[in-house]
Amino acid sequence: EPAGQTILPRPHAGVRIYPDRIVYGRNLPLRPCLSCRRRPPTSRAESAEMLSLSRSIGRRCLSRFGQSALHRSCSSTAVVDQEPPKILITGGLGQLGRGLASRLRARYGRSSVILTDILKPTAAVVKDGPYRFADILDFKLLQEMIVNERITWMFHFSALLSAVGEQNTALALRVNIEGLHNVMELAKQYDLRLFVPSTIGAFGPTSPRNPTPDLTVQKPSTIYGVSKVHAELMGEYYHRKFGLDFRCLRLPGVISADTAPGGGTTDYAVHIFHEAIRNRAYKCYLREDTRLPMIYIDDCLRAMVEVMECDPRLLKQRVYNLQAISFTPAELAKEIRRHMSNFQITYEPDFRQQIADTWPQVLDDSRARADWGWKHLVDTPDLVELMLQYLSHHYEFNAGRVAN
Ligand SMILES: NC(=O)c1ccc[n+]([C@@H]2O[C@H](COP(=O)([O-])OP(=O)(O)OC[C@H]3O[C@@H](n4cnc5c(N)ncnc54)[C@H](O)[C@@H]3O)[C@@H](O)[C@H]2O)c1
Ligand SMILES: C[C@@H](O)[C@H](N)C(=O)O
């Protein structure tokens, strides 16, 4: 958080975007089945009754739509008495961690999620729920936390992203590779369900770029990409060899309003909104025609929760591409101009252009859509509207506070 500024609650695209999300009394993440519309049970008796019913209805749903995660609430009547997970998030004070923690806390309870990082937390972070210092390179400290807190799920976010990784290769190797080894070993030892995000950066100049399939050549040209391919392969290996419940999504560039990106090649697509509101102008470090896959943070966080909650039988692979939208800086600027006609963009490509030139333009995520029901909800026009709305409000609000 910028010093002295208040971060307003982010406008989730709200009911319009999450019509199906309901959290139930026992902290269980049950939702009405999107196809048959039955609501999940609210009592043990109702659960037993629905369990027998769900056998037939569930089968009907499955035969209509194939094995889709959208139907898991039909069969999830069977897990009403299961304990909610106890979740640890590493590298949680970056762009993605706080939003994920708040989403998981809403589903499983405030104390079910422990956010960790090496950064000093703001008062708001501490108020939101448990926060602990944890250096990903400190195996013993992580081990102690997993044991004492009875952790069952881990989201491993600590990493140096593509642009900062290129500026400090030695540190990227330690955090992204040594850190991952610690996490994998602990997840294996303590039988954790482990989510590690991968990235479009796990592909390289020899991968097909439009669309990029799940299974193809992966020879990235950044240390970030190399470390993520390593993470994918290690996860698949630990899954095969030790049965580790490893789950991984290759994420596009994430666009968020209430958190800042941590030094990637796709960061322009967040900075552009701040500069549009403050100065009506932006100097872009990528060429105008650089097309990259992107995703709005709400879609991204929802995907991670959905894949972690997903019945393992639906997962036919451990690593999935995730696609939402794709645009170039020129296309994004054009969309911003629909709301702000005097917005100006200029281009001055730097070293990040070479990185972007090797990355996919569009990911083929048909397997994620077919296997566990992935569907993005926010398209580019919605995203631009949400970002401009939120940030205008944010800057006006903070300017008002300074003036008063
Ligand atoms: N944001 C995106 O666009 C995007 C896209 C694809 C994949 N991902 C992946 O998602 C994950 C989270 O991304 P993000 O955008 O929040 O990253 P970020 O750079 O914003 O945050 C990373 C966090 O890791 C922490 N960290 C660094 N060194 C550490 C250490 N030694 N021990 C513990 N923590 C340490 C940092 O303090 C930081 O808060 C990363 O693994 C990233 O590769 C992100
Ligand atoms: C794409 C993603 O991994 C990150 N935003 C980066 O640009 O490095």
Rounded alpha-carbon distances, angstroms, from residue 220 to 7, 111, 224, 357:
36, 39, 8, 11
What is the value of pTM for the model shown?
0.84
Give the atom of ligand 1 at the shortest distance from the alpha carbon of 134: 33
* Cα–Cα distance measured from residue 345 to residue 347, given in angstroms and rounded to the nearest whole number: 7
* Active-site entry in 18, 24, 190, 224: 224
Q: Residue 177 CA: which ligand is closest?
A: 1
**Ligand 2 pocket check: which of 164, 224, 322 to mutate, most ligand atoms within 8 Å of Cβ?**
224
The ipTM of this complex is 0.99
Whole-number pLDDT of residue 404: 61
**364 within 8 A of 212, measured Cβ to Cβ:** yes
Q: Which one of the ligands is nearest to 174 CA?
A: 1
CA distance 154 to 146: 9
Q: Is the pLDDT of residue 2 over 50?
A: no
Phi-psi region of 14 (alpha: psi -120 to 50; beta: other; left: phi over 0): left
Ligand 1 pocket test, candidate residues 138, 145, 158, 186, most atoms within 8 A of CB? 158
User: For residue 198, what are the β-bridge partners?
Assistant: 250
Distance 147 CA to ligand 2 centre (A): 32
Closest CA to 385 of 21, 7, 11: 11
Residue range 112-160, pLDDT digits in tens:
999 999 999 999 999 999 999 999 999 999 999 999 999 999 999 999 9
Give yes or no: 224 in active site.
yes
Q: 48-66 pLDDT, tens per residue?
A: 444 444 333 333 333 222 2
Q: Is the CB of 117 under 6 A from ligand 1?
A: yes
Q: What is the pLDDT of residue 401?
A: 73
Which pLDDT belongs to residue 42? 54
Ligand 2 is surrounded, with C-beta below 6 A, by 161-162, 199-201, 224, 253, 264-266
- The residue contributing the CA closest to ligand 2 atom 1 is 253
The pLDDT assigned to 399 comes to: 85
| Structure confidence at residue 83 (pLDDT) | 86
∠285-228-103 over CA atoms, to 5°? 85
